[in-house]
Amino acid sequence: MHIHILGICGTFMGGIAQLAVDSGHKVTGCDANVYPPMSDQLREAGIELIEGFAVDQLALAPDIFVIGNAVSRGNPLLEAILDKGLPYVSGPQWLAENVLQGRWVLGVAGTHGKTTTASMLAWILDAANMDPGFLIGGVPLNFGVSARLGGTPFFVIEADEYDTAFCDKRSKFVHYRPRTVVLNNLEFDHADIFTDLAAIETQFHHLVRTLPQSGLIVSNAAEASLDRVLQRGCWTPVERFNEPCGYHVTGDDARGELILHSPDGKVRRTVWRLSGDHNRANACAALLAARHVGVPLDQGLDALSRFDNVKRRMEVRGEVRGVTVYDDFAHHPTAIATTVAGLRRKIGKARILAVLEPRSNTMKLGTMKSQLPDSLREVDMAFCYAGNLGWDAREALAPMGDRAIVEDDLARLVDQIVIEAQPGDHILVMSNGGFGGIHGKILAGLTE
């Protein structure tokens, strides 16, 4: 089968493209911006990429068009497909029908931690010689790729609550029909498509309705929102984590410690490379989900001691003159706060310079701007790039006083960061985009 993917360079759609090629299909695709690293990965897989959405792509005559959720009505190629009555399908539906059908799907859902938890889970299964397939919204460093078919029925997927496509406004995850599901957490996000938290809870309820009685829900006991979801109807056994008297994980960041506790007491201690309470909670969820498919908890812990995290999750991009520069995907105030807290506990009293790009659709709308000062309370300085924002970042960060610097020009922002940086500092760059290559620019500026 020849499939042509509209919006192919996103992490999710690019992963579908790689899975399709590995399944023996011919794949071509297009996107508004065809750029590395995804473009390089796709071309290495033998996929022809086209810049833009010109109507002449109909001449490729694929068997079906797969439409990414970044493609909206008014897109010229989509309009031509609809006018001519050509076959099309959303990415999640194509994945469900052509890859996930008949497999034991382990889905990881939640506002935060999906990518990291799914990566941990896939690695635990892989370390247990279970050869899982996976599709993750990031690149786990243990694997070096974001998607693979795998050689067994087990398939780990990051179960996103964002909408499916222009023609299907349900959350992506309702297509996946998981047997094991992790509900990591749930708070308001995606203000561009959801009116409030209750609307997102409804989508999570729809996910719960798809689970079999023989499945398992691994749910965060600390989240009242998840309790509300389950109270609306649940037909599947639930195992909770983050319970003080139940399954939870503790540890000391400075020592790289990870200790798993069960209802019967301490299970085992190990050492790992990650930090932060949020990552310990992610680890606990992954361990319980892996146990559901047969991996003992102590074996899972052993695998986590060799887990190398995910690209763009507290990834060290370089060190110059004693200044360490990190890259992190955090873009929601809660994720920013937990990422900063994890780094703080790891480095002690050393200075943290946070560099923030409010780039997600929710942040661009300014819905959560009032939460930013509190999310940055543990940093010594905050630098915010305000280019293309529809709200006043200076006003939003005013409660931070002289600790916050806001610039509309990226080059000026880099200059300010370089001037402020001192040996021993930790520069934490947080954005869900490429941020104009700011990491390399900071490192270059520190070198001069």
Average pLDDT score over residue span 399-420: 92
Homologous superfamily of the 315-447 domain (CATH):
Mur ligase, C-terminal domain (3.90.190.20)
Percent of the residues in the chain that have a pLDDT greater than 90, as a whole number: 67
Which CATH number is 102-304 given? 3.40.1190.10
Strand ranges, E, within 18-63: 26-31, 48-51
Residues 384 and 404: beta-carbon distance below 8 Å? yes
Q: How far apart are alpha carbons 205 and 289 in whole angstroms?
A: 19
pLDDT at 364: 65
Domain 2-91: give its CATH code: 3.40.50.720
pLDDT band of residue 248 (cuts 50, 70, 90) is very high
Q: Given a cut of 80, is residue 312 above it in pLDDT?
A: no
Residue ranges covered by each domain of the chain:
2-91, 102-304, 315-447
Which residues are 384's β-sheet partners?
356, 406
Rg of the chain over all Cα atoms, to the nearest angstrom: 22
pLDDT digits 0-9 by tens, 216-246 = 999 999 999 999 999 999 999 999 999 888 9
Residue-level pLDDT at 314? 80
* Among 344, 353, 339, residue whose Cα is nearest residue 400: 353
* Most confident of the ranges 64-78, 304-318, 324-338: 64-78
The Cβ of residue 196 has, within 10 Å, a number of other Cβ atoms equal to 9
As a whole number, mean pLDDT of residues 414-440 equals 90
Question: What pLDDT, in 10s, does the model give residues 349-361?
Answer: 999 999 998 877 6
| 160 and 181 Cβ atoms separated by less than 8 Å | no
Average pLDDT, the chain: 91
* Closest of 121, 153, 112, 160 to residue 140, by C-alpha: 121
pLDDT at 79 over 90: yes
